[in-house]
Amino acid sequence: MSNYKKPVPIPSVESKPYWTGLKEGRLLIPKCGECGNFWFPPSLHCPHCNAANFSWEPSSGRGKVFSYVVFHRVYHPAFSEEVPYVVALIELEEGPRLISNLVEIKPDDVQCEMPVSVVFEKIANNMTLPKFRPAPLY
């Protein structure tokens, strides 16, 4: 895993529980203790009601492709063996959207609204990334 050559995210203070959850194989997202809404990306206040009272709750890991793009060009040398690849905006069952890669599917087979579920890719001892793969209808 130490030979991972792609850019690696740098967790912010606000996102540390998210990254810790991923290392444990859990997709955690903030949930407001006042209005009950989930959101992403992480922040110190609910974007719906501005409350600072929130907890990190497990997501089902299920969602759908809201939008996507297929990259055919190599913008970073570490991706040269992977083109074409899909970067998608995933709408989680809980509501928030996050950007990730779609795996285990040919780029030509991706469609908006298709159901997906999270998988975890450990890229280093201290870093795991969420990716999504096609899922049966739920």
pLDDT tens digit sequence for 32-60:
999 999 999 999 999 999 999 999 999 99
**pLDDT tens digits, one per residue of 55-101:** 999 999 999 999 999 999 999 999 999 999 999 999 999 999 999 99
Buried b / exposed e along 41-75 (16+ C-beta atoms within 10 A): ebeeebeeeeeeebeeeebebbbbbeebeeeeeee
Residue-level pLDDT at 137: 66
Residue-level pLDDT at 2: 60
> How far apart, in whole angstroms, are the C-alpha atoms of residue 26 and residue 119?
10
H or E segment to which residue 22 belongs = helix 16-23
Residues above pLDDT 90, as percent of the chain: 92
Considering Cα of 101, then 102, then 103, then 105, what sign does the dihedral take? negative
The burial class, CB within 10 Å (0-12 / 13-18 / 19+), for 127 is middle
pTM exceeds 0.85 = yes
CB 88 within 8 A of CB 76: no
Average pLDDT, the chain: 95
